[in-house]
Amino acid sequence: NVLYIKNSKPRPVSETVEGQFSIIGELKNIFKKSLIKSYPKSNDFNIKMVISSPSKSGDYQCDSAMGLSKILKESGTKVSPAEVAKTLIKNIPANRIIEALSIGDPGFINITLSQKFVVRQIASMFLEGVRPPKVDKKRVVIDFSSPNIAKEMHVGHLRSTIIGDSLARLLEYLGHDVVRLNHVGDWGTPFGMLLAHLNDKYPDYLNNPLPIGDLQAFYKKSKKRFDEDAEFKKRAYAVVVELQAHNPDQTKRWQLIWYTPRKEFQKIYDRLDIKLTERGESFYQDSMKKIIEDLKQKNLLVYEEGRYVMVPQKENLNPLTVVKSDGGYTYDTSDNAALCHRLEVEKADWIIYVTDRGQSSHFESLFDCVERAGYIDKNRVRIDNVSFGVVLGENKKRLKIRSGDTIRLVDILDEGIKKSMDKPIKKNRERILSPEELEQARTSVAYGCIKYADLSNNRKGDYVFSFDKMLEDEGNTAVYMLYQYTRTQSIARLANVEPNQLLNYAKNEDIKIEHPNEIKLAKEILKFYDVIQKITEDLVLHPLCEYLYKIATAFSEFYDSCYCVEKDRKTGEVIKVYMHRLLLCEVTANILAKCFDILGIKPVNRM
Ligand code: ARG
Q: What is the pLDDT of residues 519-560, one digit of tens each?
A: 999 999 999 999 999 999 999 999 999 999 999 999 999 999
Distances (CA, A) of 11 to 18, 23, 117, 320: 11, 20, 11, 62
Helices within 185-313 (DSSP H only): 189-201, 212-228, 230-244, 248-272, 285-297
End-to-end CA distance of the chain: 50
| pLDDT over 90 (residue 596) | yes
Q: What's the chain's average pLDDT?
A: 90
Average pLDDT over residues 569-574: 90
Dist. CA 147 → ligand 1 center (Å): 7
C-alpha gyration radius of the chain? 29
* Dihedral sign, Cα of residue 437, residue 438, residue 444, residue 447: negative
Residue 183 has pLDDT above 60, yes or no: yes
Q: What is the pLDDT of residue 16?
A: 42
**To the nearest whole percent, how much of the chain has pLDDT over 90?**
70
The answer to whether 352 touches 297, Cβ cutoff 8 Å, is no
Mean pLDDT in residue range 4-31: 66
Residue with the smallest CA separation from ligand 1 atom 8 is: 183
Q: What is the rounded average pLDDT of the residues 247-266?
A: 86
94 C-alpha to ligand 1 centroid (Å)? 53
Give the pLDDT confidence of 323-367 residue by residue, as tens digits: 998 888 899 999 999 999 999 999 999 999 999 999 999 999 999
Contact between 265 and 153 (Cβ < 8 Å) = yes
Nearest atom within ligand 1 for CA of residue 185: 1
Predicted pLDDT at 288: 94
Distance CA 124, CA 135 (A): 19
Within 427-573, where are the H helices? Answer: 435-455, 467-470, 478-495, 499-506, 516-525, 528-538, 542-561
Give the mean pLDDT of 222-227.
93
Amino acid sitting at position 12: P
The answer to whether the Cα torsion of 470, 475, 481, 487 is positive or negative is: positive
Q: What is the ipTM of this complex?
A: 0.99
Is residue 6 over pLDDT 70?
no
**Position with higher pLDDT, 58 vs 258:** 58
Atom of ligand 1 nearest to the CA of 359: 12
User: For the segment 489-507, what is each residue's pLDDT rounded down to a tens digit?
Assistant: 999 999 989 888 999 999 9
How far, in Å, from the CA of 240 to the mean position of ligand 1? 18
